[in-house]
Amino acid sequence: MADEESGSRIHDLDVHVGARIRLRRTMLGMSQEKLGEAIGLTFQQIQKYERGTNRVSASRLYDIARVLDVPIGFFYDDMPLDPATLPPVSPQVVTGFAEAQQSFGGPPMTAAPTAATASVDASVLTRRETLDLVRAYYRIPDTGVRKRVLDLIRSMAPADGT
């Protein structure tokens, strides 16, 4: 039984790392095929990494981080210290933007989800509209303008976060 639990936790870690690879790749507008070409793999292998079906080796993760222009730690950001507390993740669901805020210049996230982040449906984070918005936001070169855009959006949203 303990081996089964340990194996399940390890798989959850693989799924988390895969979801983070997919998150960054899609935020860059990069296809699985292009990422695969950049590191000498097929898009099918990238797909297996992103789903957590295959574990990413340390050297491969280094290559992926280099191509996606993020530190290796990005793939482990916001991962609970106890892997048993990882939420179940469907292979098609990316648990997305809220996780990436610290790495992309947003406020640091706490280890436990806040009421605001817990209420966001994960499917919203994988929509093309969301990704287009994030890409456009980070194409704004002036950080002051980006901050004012973020303040504007926050001012237009309901105060209770719903």
Q: Is the pTM of this model over 0.75?
A: no
pLDDT tens-digit profile of 127-159? 778 778 887 888 888 888 988 988 898 899 887
How is 39-97 classified by DSSP, letter by letter?
HT--HHHHHHHHHTSSPPPHHHHHHHHHHHT--GGGGGTT--SSGGGPPP--TT----H
97-124 per-position pLDDT tens digit = 443 444 444 434 433 444 444 445 556 6
Q: What are the b/e assignments for 38-62, b being 16+ CB within 10 Å?
A: eeebeeebbbbbbbbebebeeebbe
CA distances from 30 to 15, 36, 38, 72, 149 (A): 20, 10, 11, 18, 25
Q: Which domains does the chain have, with CATH numbers?
A: 2-156 (1.10.260.40)
Q: How many helices (H) and strands (E) does the chain have?
A: 9, 0
68-101 pLDDT, tens digit each: 999 998 888 877 666 555 555 544 444 444 434 4
